[in-house]
Amino acid sequence: MTKMVALVLICGWFGWGGVCAAGPATPVTATNGSATRSPDCDEASVPELIAILRERGTFAVRAAQLLADRHATSAIPDLALLLTDPKISLRINAARAMALLGDRSGLPVLRAALTEGDDFHASIAAAFLAQLGDDSGRAVLERELSSQNWIDRRQALYALALLPDGLSDVAVAAALEDERPEVQRSAFRVAWKNASDRVREVLIKKTQSPDPLTRWRATEALFMSNPHRNAEIAIGMITDPDRLVQGQTSMMLAHFSRVAVPRVSGWMRSAERARDLKQAYLEWLAVNRDVAFPPTEPAPPAPQ
């Protein structure tokens, strides 16, 4: 399995894309002429997946992932047997599946893979550990942030964002300025978790980008990182010359104004400030509704 394919699978495992997006795998014929069974994402039962797991063949890794997805705790004994398999790919995937099913006894296997295997498997093990809230692989992931391969940089960014301490402001700021737009887009998705002045400065600069999508993503990240501090910036973007920015920002603020104050208490320093922000936005909207919500079709006739 190439590194590219593995990273695509990691995207599915972390919720960054469907692992079954391409449909069920095609059965592969072994050198002895026998057919290796392929688990169908929609149809394979837990017993069938366990049988595939026991074969330790081509699709055992995928079977482990699907068993975790299906909360098949009955598979834990069979997964545990793979923790000592000669193949590092089977060991680390079995350890991850077990942890997701509630048995974290395989975590030492993932930690060992950080140093005993090659860089490829070390990166996957570090990403799995991050998914499980374990920062043992942080050094590996931080090294990946400077990889020459932009896919490695993007996946490391996502994985680090899962850790309790998250990404450093230096890492987020650098990713927002990455030469690859794909990495920049990913950075916008995690930047809201970092409300540092360094990241805020980069995001404010991005709100002036000539690209409308970049302006909107920067506005969203700013507002979500600290709604009270960045409300004025977000409200100002409703008058952006691009309708996409106008509409998206308006919908974001309109949704916020409808959210009950207790639900946003985690975002705001106090419920009182949340009410103040809501009132300020509603007052602005009363005067600028035609700007915030440009008409796309004739208004319905007034009731008689």
Q: pLDDT per residue over 190-228, tens digit each?
A: 998 887 899 999 999 999 999 999 999 999 999 888 887
Locate 191 and state its tokens. Answer: 């930047």
The candidate with the shortest Cα–Cα distance to 90, out of 59, 134, 67, is 59
Phi, psi of 254 (to 5 degrees): -65, -40
Any idea what DSSP says for residue 269?
Answer: S
Ranges 2-11, 129-138, 212-221, 260-269: which has the least confidence: 260-269
Any idea what DSSP says for residue 180?
Answer: S
Share of the chain above pLDDT 70, in %: 69
Is the torsion defined by CA of 232, 235, 239, 245 positive or negative? Answer: positive
Rounded Cα gap, residues 251 and 223, in angstroms: 13
Any idea what DSSP says for residue 211?
Answer: S
Higher pLDDT, residue 242 or 176: 176
Higher pLDDT, residue 202 or 279: 202
Any idea what DSSP says for residue 301?
Answer: P
Alpha helices in the chain (DSSP H): 3-13, 46-55, 60-69, 76-81, 88-100, 107-116, 119-131, 138-144, 150-161, 169-176, 181-191, 197-206, 212-225, 227-236, 243-258, 271-292
Q: Considering the entire predicted model, what is its pTM?
A: 0.68
